[in-house]
Amino acid sequence: MAKHLPHGTHTPVLIIGAGPAGLTLSHLLHQAGVDSIVVERRSRADVESTIRAGILEPATLELMRRTGVGERVDAEGIPERGIEISVNNQRTRIDLEGLTGKTAAIYPQHEYVKDFIARRLADGGTLLFEHTVTAVEGEVVSVETSSGEHLSIRADHVVAADGSASPWRAQVAGLRARHEYPYAWFGLMVEAPPTHRELIYATHPEGFALISKRSDTLQRYYLQCSPEDSPEDWSEDRIWEQLHRRADSEGITVSEGRITERAVLRFRSAVTEPMQRGNLYLAGDAAHTVPPTGAKGLNLAVADVQVLAPGLVRAVQTGERDLLDKYTELALPHVWRAQQFSWWMSSLLHAAEGESPFSARRRVAQLHSVLESEAGRRFLAEQYVGTRAQEV
């Protein structure tokens, strides 16, 4: 599918990165009649198998359905009608559906990516895997193929959607607001039956644990760990002992099985402002990173391109830049709300190393205030399912 592009090919929009932001954007542009080329450094197999988070907000699901990519998520995604918050092994259910009228879905990010790749290819889209962008100079984008050939592509607009390490962010030269967290997650994939119907977010004096799921036979668990930890620091015995200690509760025992994947995930918050300069735009993790709690990253990337796509379409089709020039202004309020929620949920549920007795008791009291109040549960539910508009 690596189409052979003639040197000097022109495209209205060149997208760097075939992740959720880049692929969704390319699909939305196509539906509005605007061509794009997606350039991705990694192989298709790699992109389609990288394990990431797995929660799709209702607005993301709605976009998939409305634009003809919802068939598989509707058949295979697991509806998420509620979540459980466990505080020192006592659970409170947050009725997402009852409190918001909406449900999210558990559907791994790489499945989302597979659906959009398949759809772009079926629609005749140009996706260049194993191609690396080496320079963006105005409208000229230099690309190197895996066999070392050099291509030059002319693009009216260039979107960097190539993740948190995007080298193109420096060319936007924005202000980078950052926050570091004194904890990380140790992510596990486990061949086991589901522990419970719903996800369990558990906080415990020894740390946080998240009991998520993937299927009837595969489960996704996370344990709070130190940012300095490596997977070798965690023996099987320690993993299971800590999962049970932190996340078991009345009637629920974390189900055990063979561990097939172990990785440490860093916690970071960062936002770049502005998200554009000239004809270069940042989308998704290239512009901002959220910590994993609440799984907002993919949804935020999709929210960005829902704002960026209409601006690009208008600029390409009419030459009017008014909407495109407002991309940052239109995208940022949502970015900061997601940032705030991810920070809040992380801070409520994690015991920072060396947390003082005062902070620990205060944190648990705050959690109880939220969980015991209907207004508190509703606030949590609304933020968790997402607050962005469901219409583009």
Concatenate the DSSP letters of all residues of 26-78 into one string.
Answer: HHHHHHTT--EEEE-SS-HHHHTT-----EE-HHHHHHHHHTT--HHHHHHSE
Pick between residue 86 and residue 212 the one whose CB is nearest to ligand DHB: 212
What strands lie across the sheet with 288-289, from one edge to the other?
A: 175-180, 268-273, 288-289
Min dist. Cβ of residue 377 to ligand DHB (A): 17
Q: In Å, what is the CA distance from 286 to each residue of 113, 281, 341?
A: 17, 10, 20
Could you give the CA distance from residue 214 to residue 54 in angstroms, rounded to a whole number?
8
Using rule CB under 6 A, residue 125 touches ligand DHB: no
Options 292, 310, 311, 386; binder of ligand DHB; rule CB under 6 A: 292
Token readout for 88 is 């020192």
Pick between residue 210 and residue 371 the one whose CB is nearest to ligand DHB: 210
Pick between residue 52 and residue 72 the one whose CB is nearest to ligand DHB: 52
Could you give the CA distance from residue 324 to residue 192 in angstroms, rounded to a whole number?
48
Using rule CB under 6 A, residue 212 touches ligand DHB: yes
φ, ψ for residue 89, nearest 5 deg = 70, 20
Q: Which range touches ligand DHB (CB under 6 A), out of 47-55, 160-168, 328-336, 353-361?
A: 47-55
| Cβ-closest position to ligand DHB | 212
Min dist. Cβ of residue 185 to ligand DHB (A): 8
Options 102, 157, 204, 220; binder of ligand DHB; rule CB under 6 A: 220
Min dist. Cβ of residue 316 to ligand DHB (A): 35
Could you give the CA distance from residue 136 to residue 155 in angstroms, rounded to a whole number?
10
Pick between residue 78 and residue 158 the one whose CB is nearest to ligand DHB: 78
Using rule CB under 6 A, residue 54 touches ligand DHB: yes
Options 20, 22, 82, 294; binder of ligand DHB; rule CB under 6 A: 294
Using rule CB under 6 A, residue 39 touches ligand DHB: no
Pair type for strands 218-225 and 209-213: antiparallel
Using rule CB under 6 A, residue 110 touches ligand DHB: no
Options 24, 293, 346, 383; binder of ligand DHB; rule CB under 6 A: 293
Min dist. Cβ of residue 155 to ligand DHB (A): 34
Min dist. Cβ of residue 205 to ligand DHB (A): 21
229 Cα distance to chain centroid: 23
DSSP state of 285: G
φ, ψ for residue 213, nearest 5 deg = -145, 165
Residue 34, CB-side half-sphere exposure with 13 Å CA sphere: 27
Q: Which range touches ligand DHB (CB under 6 A), out of 33-41, 49-57, 121-129, 325-333?
A: 49-57
Using rule CB under 6 A, residue 53 touches ligand DHB: yes
Min dist. Cβ of residue 227 to ligand DHB (A): 16
Using rule CB under 6 A, residue 104 touches ligand DHB: no
Q: In Å, what is the CA distance from 77 to each residue of 62, 336, 386?
A: 13, 28, 18
Q: How many residues bind ligand DHB (CB under 6 A)?
A: 11
Could you give the CA distance from residue 192 to residue 212 in angstroms, rounded to a whole number?
12
Could you give the CA distance from residue 323 to residue 304 in angstroms, rounded to a whole number?
13
Query: Contact positions toward ligand DHB, by CB under 6 A?
Result: 53-55, 199, 210, 212, 220, 292-295
